[in-house]
Structure 1
Amino acid sequence: MPRRHQKPSRHELKGWHKPPDSIVITRPSRFGNPYKVRPYGPYTAEEAAGLYERDLLAGGVESAPGRPPTTIEELRRRAGGLDVVCTCDLDAACHGDVILKYANT
């Protein structure tokens, strides 16, 4: 079953390589979460992941202005069977868990 990996912070990136068969879901990628988590935005990690899931189920998530919404069908097509890589702590709520849930159903 695909899983979530943690991308190192910017100052720890030297020598790091994205795991094979994975996609990066950080901002500003196609699958980035537009809902920012504290201290950079008003939401908790749980709220941001919940809002991402709400929008996904409502028809799609607009990850950036002017970009077409990301839909469940697109997640299945482009992320199905792949691991996801984000900067969230692995024990924290993350929209990556939502992506894994819907991309692999």
Structure 2
Amino acid sequence: MTDETPKRIQLSRKKGWRKPEGAISVSRPGQFGNPFAIGVRVPVWWRGRDRIQRGNIETETNEQAVAYFRDWMNGVVDVDDWPRPYLPLIRGRDLCCWCPADQPCHADVLLELANPSPLVERVKEKQLMSPVSGVSVKISVSPVNGDHP
């Protein structure tokens, strides 16, 4: 782990490759893995207008898998028998996954949520003036998975 911004590192099986010290693997299986694997039906549920809805999600692309992962992390859908990762465990750490560096990856979502920008941190505690209406608006950002400031 370094003092610079945490980043995603692609895991490798090449001879001599080692995971950097302090980096955390977020691949499957594991507590930080993405339950939305390409071609796998995942049972999910979400809160509908007047009742709980159940269904299955099957992803066809990396982009879909990452989008569903983001929805899951933000509480839009829930996955049966798969608890959401506890973000403080990975805050400030580099994350390793098998996804190629030039493709979308759920590790990017984890990095974004576990390491919010300074602006997001400031907004959590501020009241802002709307430039359009001039009305004072209190902004609060709900913590993800019990992640309290």
TM-score (ref. length: structure 1) = 0.78
Q: For residue 52 of structure 1, give the secondary structure of its aligned residue in structure 2.
A: helix
Q: Which runs of 5+ in 2 are unaligned?
A: 40-57, 117-149
After superposition, what is the alpha-carbon deviation per residue over 1:68-101, rounded to whole angstroms, capped at 9, x for unaligned?
Answer: x225xx21x1000000000001010000000000
**Moved >6 Å (runs of 4+):** none
Matches within 5 A, 1:1-105: 1-9=5-13, 12=14, 14-37=15-38, 42-58=59-75, 62=79, 66-67=81-82, 69-71=83-85, 74-75=86-87, 77-105=88-116
Q: Which runs of 5+ in 1 are unaligned?
A: none
Higher strand share: 2
- Mark the structure with the bigger radius of gyration: 2
Aligned-residue Cα RMSD (Å) equals 2.4
Aligned residues: 95
Identity %: 34
TM-score (ref. length: structure 2) = 0.56
Q: For residue 47 of structure 1, give the secondary structure of its aligned residue in structure 2.
A: helix
d(CA) in 2 for partners of 1:104, 1:97: 10
d(CA) in 2 for partners of 1:81, 1:91: 22
User: How far is 1:61 from its partner?
Assistant: 6.3
Q: Which has the higher contact order (CA 8 A, sep 6+)?
A: 1
d(CA) in 1 for partners of 2:75, 2:105: 19
Higher helix share: 1
